[in-house]
Chains A and B, each alone.
Chain A
Amino acid sequence: METKGNGNAASGRMVIDSISKSYGMGPLRQKVIQDCSFTLEPGKLTVLIGPSGCGKTTIINLLAGYEEIETGSISIDGKPVKGPGGDRLVVFQETALFPWMTLMQNVTFGPRMRGGRNSREIEGDALSLLQKVGLGDFRDKYPTQLSGGMQRRAELVRALINSPRVMMMDEPFRGLDAMTRELMQEYYIRLFEEHRITNLFVTSEIEEAIFLADRLVIMSYRPAQVRTVMEINLPRPREFSMLTSKEYLQYKKDALEILHEEAMKAFSTGTATCVADFLEAYSEIEEKK
């Protein structure tokens, strides 16, 4: 396993340039993303935050190549993004570990698919990563035998072992209880600070966002646009004690003001939201067929 100082720390610059996306047909057609632009700097952790239902998951799907953008462009290290690829890995909301594979089989899935290395080497890498997140003894368990927090950690490892240029986390800790969530943030930030892979982290929790971020991208309500970009200049390694520092609280206050405005907008356009949410969910189902 490549860790510190691999090629990824220097690469993984992702440029998102005025992308748009709509869902629905005819008069029901709604713009979900409009002229959205931001940049993921190499080796930095960018957090995308916005009111719930603003299309954050859609942005992940576009960046991962699961869905196609209508206008604009997405490029990674200068090359345009086309379809899903191993250079951009997604950790999904809730768990997407394959239930029929043991933890070890899940984690080694990526390296096995790419081929080129023998399985003993791959398993060695996987085991050392699993041990790092406290899952060494669970290598032969199935995902359903693990707790929610363990599943998310396993999922982090499953992405990380592939040394992607960019890792995209779609509200990965949603649905966990507060204690587990805090623990997961700690595991995650340690892994990030050690590997320095370019990361995009999507969340709707402001405290989590500022604690993790080098750069905070605040989204507007639908159609989603970049409202503000904030550089978070808190020192690394991050510690939970920073949550009481003056700088942290100032960032939080600034971000909250903007988010509050957007949330109010979202609230006042309630009906339109329902339609848009429905359309988005529906188009996902359609795609599945």
Chain B
Amino acid sequence: MSGRNKNSNSLGKLGKSIFNISFYRGVVAIIASLIFWEFAARVHLPVIGMIPAPSAVAGSLSSLIFTGYYWESWYVSFERVFSGFVMAQIIGIPVGLLMGMSRKFRDLGFPILEVLRPIPPLAWVPASVIFWPTPQMSMVFVTFLGAFFTTVLNILGGVSNIDIRYIRSARSFGASNKDIFWRIVLPATLPSLCTGMTVGMGITWEVVVAAEMIASRSGLGFLTWRSYVAGDYPVIVIGMISIGIAGYISSSIIRLLSGRATPWLKII
């Protein structure tokens, strides 16, 4: 009973926090730009008038939305982004922690990391198509690179910025090395990890779309590129907006998880 009450209460709060004045301003701004865009397309304004009108895009969307091809593109891109992203965390987090905590490991790993990091993930596309057996694996690998370095560097920074007094007092309280790792080092690094993941998620979408245009025959990036090649301009716009929405959904998920993982940061 009380749980239910609490639930409806928080739903009410959620409603209030979404449908406030800022929300309505946003809605007005979007509608206004759509009207301007439609107008620009109809009177053939230079540059912006070349983009298909919202009405044309909506017409295309209404048929595209019922095709398996459109949703398949969503699914494929999401799968790539999340496989690459999750792999980047699974490998990047331990690497970052090891480098942060062990001087030896940092001396060994840092130069390699710093040579590889400036290479844009897209420059890896040709090489990865050659050395990975399937195109899917090479796509996932390139996505992985997009998030990997961000994660490693953020964790490394997080670990080396831990206030030494935390470790000292934990030692005085009798904490073992294991306790210090799980109860001090890890939670103290979490905020940096969350930052790294938010940034990394943004990069993975940039990378996957570009990689799909170059070296794939599926995904939202490919959908956009193919429409260009086929001259189906409204679908280009649909592809672009879809990518935007997909990226927004992904970073919302990360933000939600980050908030859950670091409750002490929310309330200041």
Contacts and interface: CB of A to CB of B under 8 A. Distances in A.
B103 interface: yes
Ranked nearest first, the 10 interchain pairs of A and B with the lowest CB-CB distance are A110-B173, A100-B187, A142-B264, A96-B165, A84-B171, A113-B174, A84-B172, A86-B174, A288-B164, A113-B175
Contacts of B169: 89-90, 92, 96
Interface in A82-122: 83-86, 88-90, 92, 96, 98-101, 109-110, 113-114
Contact of A142 (B171, B173, B263): B263
B-side interface mostly: helix
A138 B220 CA distance: 50
A64 B165 contact: no
Interface of A: 64, 66, 83-86, 88-90, 92, 96, 98-101, 109-110, 113-114, 142-145, 162, 284, 287-289
Contacts of A88: 172
B267 A100 contact: no
B168 A66 contact: yes
10 contacts: A86-B174, A88-B172, A96-B166, A96-B169, A110-B174, A114-B174, A142-B264, A142-B267, A284-B164, A289-B103
B268 A144 contact: yes
Contacts of B176: 113
Given A98-B184, A100-B188, A162 B173 contact: yes
A144 B264 CA distance: 8
A64 B268 contact: no
Contacts of A83: 171
Contacts of A101: 187, 264
B9 interface: no
Size class of the B contact interface (CB-based, 8 Å): 20 to 34
A88 B171 CA distance: 11
Interface of B: 103, 160, 163-166, 168-176, 179, 183-184, 187-188, 190, 262-264, 267-268
Contacts of A66: 168
A142 B170 CA distance: 18
Contacts of B172: 64, 84-86, 88-90
Contacts of B173: 86, 89, 109-110, 113-114, 162
A138 B7 CA distance: 24
Contacts of A92: 165, 169
A105 to B, nearest CB: 9
B147 to A, nearest CB: 24
Contacts of A288: 160, 164
A64 B262 contact: no
Most-contacted residue by chain B among A83, A98, A101, A110 (CB, 10 A): A98
A288 B171 CA distance: 14
B168 A90 contact: yes
